[in-house]
Structure 1
Amino acid sequence: MNRHPEIALLCFALLLVAACGEDPEECPSGGETIKISAPSFKEGFEFEIDRYEASRFDANAASEGSGREIACSMGGVQPWRTVSFKQASSACKAAGKRLCTRSEWIAACGSMGLENHFPYGRNYDRTACKTESVEPGVTGATPTCATQVNDIMDMSGNLREWVVGTGTEMPGLAGGGFSDPELNASCTNVISPSGGTDAYNPGKGDGFRCCK
């Protein structure tokens, strides 16, 4: 006869958690976030932005992974795509970050005071980034698609990236995706879904990166 039924019940509960629970999602060490400080661009304009497009914690070069909670910044992995604005916001928050604002994203892409139209310079080069292609690539796979300042990767093409608006601005998708031509792949190109973010059905060219 069990003299301590409460202990037996506790042990059963712990075994059930061990059998059915999942380990919390954590990003591998080495995720890179770049600090941007440009008082000459705008007084007090300082933030941090991920070097790479967001990926799931268990992504690799062949697979996006299956994580649903936390956004990571890793090179050489499949980016997290077909993601809604709400999902992107939640994944950044889980990482202790947030989605970038339009002004932050555009400033980082254009290398601040250089005011580049594309991460790599003022003139479009269809081979510099993952544009006019049939599929997105792994994060950071194209060395020429780095910003001239800070080496932030894939801000033109590969995946369109969710950004938040400030004031009267609407949230939108910045920088163009893997299939987009020159016009859509510039640093200043931000497209806001006409029906709002809740009604928008994300495609495989839609992703994000985080700021803080």
Structure 2
Amino acid sequence: MFVKICGFTDPANLASVCQANVRPDAVGLNFWPGSKRYVTPETGAEFANLAADAGIRRWGLFVDPSNEDLERAAAVDLSAVQLHGDEPPDAFAQVAERRPVHEYVRAWRVERSLDPLLDHLAAQPDACRADYLLLDASVPGAYGGTGAKLDWHAVRDEMDRVGDRLPPVVLAGGLTPDNVVEAVRIVRPWGVDVAGGVERAPGIKDPAKVAAFCENARGAL
């Protein structure tokens, strides 16, 4: 079970998570200025180096990034770019020209049917498609990080309906150490993603909650 902890804003806090006995597989750095967990590319570079030294993958979160946004982040040692906005299907091809990385992640705010998502994925250029899909709750005017929870049974039903037409799914939205076992057992995702559910304050993680979240998610199946 892949585990990502998203939205660090303090280097010392990230270092404590990276040095713990129980660590996530990836950390998320939020480069969207509208987020309460926003970090500048300059600060993000320090965070990415801390995670890389610990062997942890670095996912950079962007919302409808401009060319300037991508170029400013070029010095950050990212493993993946996660697009969490309303980007067009060919956005990863545009990203690759300015910020090439190993993996591309399409975040999708789920409403009901996954058919609009399938249309979006089908329109992606073959040369630059999403490697992973992150499913999050849909909240008007928000791009993740709200703590809103998906209907896990409905998501599983939709995943069963569309079959193998989805890339590996990372489940997000309102997860905590207390509910992640139930979520994993119902949805059976490839991975899970959490931000607020393991925090003391926005952007400041509780290392004990991070460890519990990782252990519970990995032991769920």
Same fold (TM over 0.5): no
Larger helix share, 1 or 2: 2
Instruction: Give the number of the structure whose alpha-carbon radius of gyration is greater.
Output: 1
- TM-score class, shorter-chain normalisation, is under 0.3
Larger strand share, 1 or 2: 2
TM-score normalised per structure 1 = 0.26
TM-score normalised per structure 2 = 0.25
